[in-house]
Amino acid sequence: MTDSTEIKINGISCTCKPDDTVLDACRDNGFFIPTLCEIEEIDQPFGGCRVCLVEITGPRGTIITTSCDTPVSPEMEIVTESPDIFEGRKTAIELLLSEHTGDCVAPCSRECPTSLDVQGYLAHIASGRPREAVKLIKQKTPLAISLGRACFAPCEEECRRNLVEDPIAIRQEKQYAAEVDIRDPWTPDIPEETGKSVGVVGGGPAGLTAAYFLRLKGHSVTIYDMMPELGGMMRYGIPNYRLPKDLLDLEINWIIGLGIDVKTETKLGTDLSLKELRQQHDAVFVTSGAWESWMVPIEGKDLPRVYGGIDFLVDVTLGKEVSLGEKVLVVGCGNTAMDVSRTARRLGKDVTIVYRRTSDEAPASIEEREEAEEEGVKFMYLTNPEKICGCDVNGVSKVECARMELGEPDASGRPRPVKIEGEPLSLEADSVILAIGQSPDLETLQNEGLETSKYTMKCDIKFMTNLEGVFTAGDALIGPSSIVECTGQAREAAYAIDAYVNGDLNSYETPEDYKLPFGYAHTDIKSEEDFADWERIPRAMMPKRSPEDRVKDFEVIELGFDNITVEEEAERCLECGCLDIFQCKLKEYASVYGARQNTYQGFKQDFDIDESHPHMIRDPGKCILCGSCVRTSEEFGEGVVQFAQRGFVTVVEPAFSEPLGTVESELIGTLADACPTGALEELPVDKPGPFELEELVATHCAGCGIGCPVSVMGFDGTPIQLVADDDPLYGHLCDRGKFHTLETFAGLDLESICDYLKDGPVDIYMSGDTTLEELKLLEDIVGITGGNIYSPHAPSCISTVGLEELLNTKKVYIEEGAYDESPLIKLFVQRALDSGAEKVSSAQELGNGVAVLCSQTESDMERRIVTQRYANAVGLYGLSVKGAPGRKVLLYGLDEVDIDSCSILKINTGNDWLIKKGTFKNIFGKVVELNPVSEEENILKKIMGKM
């Protein structure tokens, strides 16, 4: 047989190994093939998911078939991408999605127009990391402060906690974090300047957001704004009592501080033209907002003291005198109407809102309506103004209204208000403010050559207008909206602009719906019944100024949460989003193939989530029956999970449907690693974001004498998870290593230790994870104090061969108990068995094979691996306890030891290798390194320094 086989992949000649599968061959030659059930280290293909389809022309003609279970043959021709292959893969994924239950992301995030990772930042806040929370928010928007104060929080409406009692106070949680951060704001790195420049027309939420993201791409940005200060509607539309200007200034200054040029009091069409802007910049972003008040065609609308809502708010913010008289009638019941009414109340006026529908249809948030009511604003529902009466000299005197009733639903879905004839109503008023809507200044935009619809700007799906290089988003595009809608849209527009100025607009891929970056929600709407057993925890109430007090001025109403309340409130989060969101292969492939979860909608099984295991969670609703856990467990000789049932109701579960918590296994964590979805997941130690983690340090596990390579994952110095290093020999962690949690060591009183050591001799007992460096220091100390040095964990016999010999042995003998000391030995033994080794039941039959023995066994066998419970037992070989201890004993790192002695001093190191630096010798005779997450000077060094 030859060493290599020639095949063709997508028309390209490639070589592969003769015993490769088509999948191996394609992957090794750099061609992507999706698969959900293949496990690279297990040779026998499973062939369950059927996603790895390719087209093969070979001995059987041309067929589309799975690549994982098809061996290569000479001159085979493989095609990895075609419309038929795409359809087949997509169908397989859609069928899997149709039986998959769970939220990829929580409903709060799904609902957020800016797609903020709400669950993630709440988790950070709950764990006392508000700045990390803001870091997460700043990946999606620079406006954490403004949103924390003035977002209308659609997330809270979707919050599942609504089905328990009340939603999490998401906006106010963000407020706390943002205002902690703004004192010393976290700032992302700005890359090198690209030399490209973008002009942004309008410095409101959309303009600021686009400027921020374009700056983060290294482009130079200039904001042009018609007003004296930046902020747009956040400054001029939202009154100070909701969004204090000092906080807004901090946020805007921080954004501008990233290196953004600003030209205020510069209005498009008046002070500069689009033509000029397009000459000066590589791209222009028009986000000039919606500043024109809608004036209803009502008789008397041109009388003095009749104002547009937004005009009124702008004038008040600018400090202009607005003549209102005593009685103010506000028309409309949206958020602007609330701002207008409450502003007028703060100016000491008697304010009445008239609205032609009822409170149920009012667009303003309940919270705002309640606050307005508390502040003395009167509401008259089902009342429609028909004529404003008055004269040109004194202005408004009264408003004639009609009484209304609700009729059939109109185009917006709300019931149409119908006039009740013959019941006129006359309301006294000195001024009228029409707060019924706003629109962009279309005339100016049209004069600049931009195409518009009847009410707003127009653009294509990549935010480009009819003019090449001119983009738009925000209120100018969608009409009067909200900060959170504008900022999310502007971020996407900024990415499109970035692609454009880089010369390839096509590289910007419009997310199918940019509000749904993850896209998949497999949970049907849950009912309150599903949460009947949940503990009721009331929502934290935001402390506010009293209504009487707050109408006296424009100062802020919300006084803010304290750090304890904010953490408790965030702790209420139900963590709806999937733990596996950043790793899930099903989600990844579903996105790649545009697979829909409802193409093949049908019956789904209703499972309970198994939370019986202390470190693992099993959610059978997310299981795709790829069998990866079953095979991994078999591979390790454990077989703790199995297929059960038949047909559509087939499940993977522990034997006899027992809960996972009752399963006896040393390697159950490896099943979570094997699971391609969130069906088997490791529980994080903290409240789960889940977060995207980074490697903090690469070290070795000191859970036993093997010393497996391990990556400590976390963020900002905080270890969150231990992950097996991608090592071809190791590549897995046993539960002792994987579920190791950080316990910092007890306080050590240096003075008293030194005092104790001064009056020698002192015998030193050290634990089995004492590093070689610590051993050296302890020897030095004994050299000074006199006495002996021991370790009760020093073995009487150690390995004579290494890992290679074990893996290549022809025969292997395993002593009972060896797996308990070093669980991962199971894996190496299994690999030896897989490559043809024979397991013998007694050492006598072993011949030239390798024996795997326990540390307590004395053996003169020539070829042996001796397992060790303690990391550096081998390094301490020969230091076993001999004779009775002396008068004084120092215990180093030991939990407990029975020594009859008159005096014992214990230095408890907390036994934690995550914060240790040093080396130890493993059972294969290799010296392995420990690297700490954060370095601290070793206590022994300090002692030596003192002695």
Partner 1 sequence: MPETKILIGYASCGIAAGASDVERALRSTMDEHGIDTIIRRVGCVGMCHNEPIVELIDEKGHYTYGDLEAKDAVKIVTEHLLGGTPYEDKLIISPEKQYDYFTKQKKIVLRNSGVIDPEDIEDYIASGGYEGLKKALEVGSDDVVEEIKKSKLRGRGGAGFPTGLKWQFARDAKADSKYVICNADEGDPGAFMDRSVLEGDPHAVLEGMIICAFAVGADKGYIYCRAEYPLAIRRLEIGIRQAEEKGFLGDNILGSEHSFRIIIKEGAGAFVCGEETALMHSIEGGRGMPRPRPPFPAQKGLFGKPTNINNVETLANIPYILREGAEKYTECGTERSGGTKVFALAGKVKRGGLVEVPIGTPLKDIIYGIGDGIEGDREFKAVQLGGPSGGCLPAEYLDTPVDYETLTKAGAIMGSGGMIVMDEMDCMVNVAHYFLDFTQKESCGKCTFCRVGTKRMLEILERFTHGNGTLDDITTLETLASHIKAYSLCGLGQTAPNPVLTTLRYFQDEYLAHIDEGRCPAKVCRDLITFTITDTCVGCGLCMYECSVDAISGEKRSKHVIDQDECISCGACGEVCPVSAVEVL
Task: Give the binding site for partner 1 (CB under 8 A).
Answer: 44-51, 53, 64-66, 68-69, 71, 87-88, 91-92, 95-96, 98-99, 600, 602-603, 624-625, 627, 642-643, 645-650
Identify which of residues 11 and 59 has a Cβ nearer to partner 1 in the complex: 59
CB of 600 to partner 1, least distance (A): 4
Tokens 């629109």 map to which residue?
439
How near is the Cβ of 144 to partner 1 at its closest, in Å? 43
In whole angstroms, give the CA distance from residue 117 to residue 724.
27
Pairing mode of beta strands 197-201, 260-263: unpaired
Decide whether 64 or 574 has the Cβ nearer to partner 1. 64
Closest to partner 1 by CB, 112 vs 624, is 624
Q: Which is nearer to partner 1, 45 or 918 (CB)?
A: 45
For the four alpha carbons of 892, 898, 904 and 910, in that order, the dihedral sign comes to positive
DSSP state of 801: S
Q: Angle at which helices 483-501 and 205-215 pack, to 10 degrees?
A: 40
Looking at the Cβ atoms of 95 and 427, the one nearer to partner 1 is 95
Cβ(541)–Cβ(569) below 8 Å:
no
Q: CB of 842: closest distance to partner 1 in angstroms?
A: 24
Tell me which residue of 896, 892, 904, 897 sits closest to 773, measured CA to CA.
Answer: 892
Min CB(937)–partner 1 separation in Å:
56
Residue 731 contacts residue 725 (beta carbons within 8 Å):
yes
Q: Which is nearer to partner 1, 100 or 738 (CB)?
A: 100
- Give the shortest CB-626-to-partner 1 separation in angstroms: 9
Task: Name the residue nearer to partner 1 (CB basis): 67 or 909.
Answer: 67
In the three-class reduction of DSSP (H, G, I as helix; E, B as strand; rest coil), residue 711 is classed as strand
Nearer to partner 1, 538 or 836 (CB): 836
Residue 410: count of CB within 10 angstroms of its CB: 10
Contact 442, 449 (CB under 8 A): no
Which residue number, 66 or 868, has a Cβ lying nearer to partner 1?
66
CB of residue 275 vs partner 1: minimum separation in angstroms? 52
Give the nearest distance from C-beta 649 to partner 1 in angstroms.
Answer: 8
> Smaller CB distance to partner 1: residue 69 or 815?
69
Least spacing, CB of residue 88 vs partner 1, in Å: 6
Please, are residues 328 and 429 in contact by the beta-carbon 8 Å criterion? yes
Q: Are 383 and 334 in contact (CB under 8 A)?
A: no
Identify residue 787 by its one-letter amino acid code.
G
At 495 the three-state DSSP class reads helix
Cα(153)–Cα(504) distance, rounded to whole angstroms? Answer: 35
CB of 110 to partner 1, least distance (A): 25
Residue 830 CB, nearest approach to partner 1 (Å): 16
What is the closest distance, in whole angstroms, from the C-beta atom of residue 87 to partner 1 in the complex?
A: 8
Q: What is the CA radius of gyration of the chain?
A: 35
Classify residue 664 as exposed, middle or buried by CB count within 10 Å of its CB (0-12, 13-18, 19+). Answer: exposed
Q: How far is the CB of 674 from partner 1 (least distance, A)?
A: 16
C-alpha dist (Å) from residue 657 to 683, 778, 779: 21, 52, 54
Tokens of 338: 């609330």
The answer to whether the CB of 221 falls within 8 A of the CB of 200 is yes
Comparing CA positions, the residue from 461, 458, 465, 459 lying closest to residue 510 is 461
Beta carbon of residue 627, minimum distance to partner 1 (angstroms, whole number): 7
Round to whole Å and give the CA distance between 241 and 7.
Answer: 72
Locate 882 and state its tokens.
């001999």
Peptide bond into 191 cis (omega under 30): no
Residue placing its CB nearer to partner 1 in the complex, 32 or 603:
603
**Distance (Å, whole) CA 175 – CA 151:** 10
Determine the Cα–Cα distance for residues 835 and 42; give it in Å rounded to an integer.
12
Closest approach of partner 1 to the CB of residue 838, in Å = 14
Q: Which is nearer to partner 1, 414 or 810 (CB)?
A: 810
786, 742, 790, 753: which is closest to 906 by C-alpha? 753
Q: How far is the CB of 64 from partner 1 (least distance, A)?
A: 7
For partner 1, the closer CB: 23 or 477: 23
Q: At what angle do helices 205-215 and 245-256 cross, to 10 degrees?
A: 30
Report the residue number, 63 or 391, with the smaller CB distance to partner 1: 63
| Conformational region of residue 500, where left means phi above 0, alpha means psi within -120 to 50, and beta covers everything else | alpha
Residue number with CB closer to partner 1 (183 or 646): 646
User: Shortest approach of partner 1 to residue 826 CB, angstroms?
Assistant: 20
Which of 650, 741 has the CB closer to partner 1? 650
Contact 313, 497 (CB under 8 A): no
CA distance 243 to 339: 11
| Least distance in angstroms from the C-beta of 67 to partner 1 | 11
Token representation of residue 292 = 């024109």
In the chain, what is the greatest distance between 2 CA atoms, to the nearest angstrom? 117
**Which residue lies nearer to partner 1 by CB, 595 or 854?**
595
- Does the N-terminal peptide bond of residue 424 adopt cis geometry, omega within 30 degrees of 0? no
- Cα atoms in the 13 Å half-sphere on the side-chain side of 681: 25
Cβ at position 92, least distance to partner 1 in Å: 5
State which residue, 213 or 593, has the beta carbon closest to partner 1: 593
What residue spans of 599-732 are helical by DSSP H? 628-635, 669-674
The full 3-state SS of 566-604, as one line of letters, equals: HHHHHHCCCCCECCCCCCCHHHHHHHHCCCCCCCCCCCC
Q: What angle do CA 477, 482, 485 make, to 5 degrees?
A: 65
> Of 818, 877, 903, 806, which Cα lies nearest the Cα of 848?
806
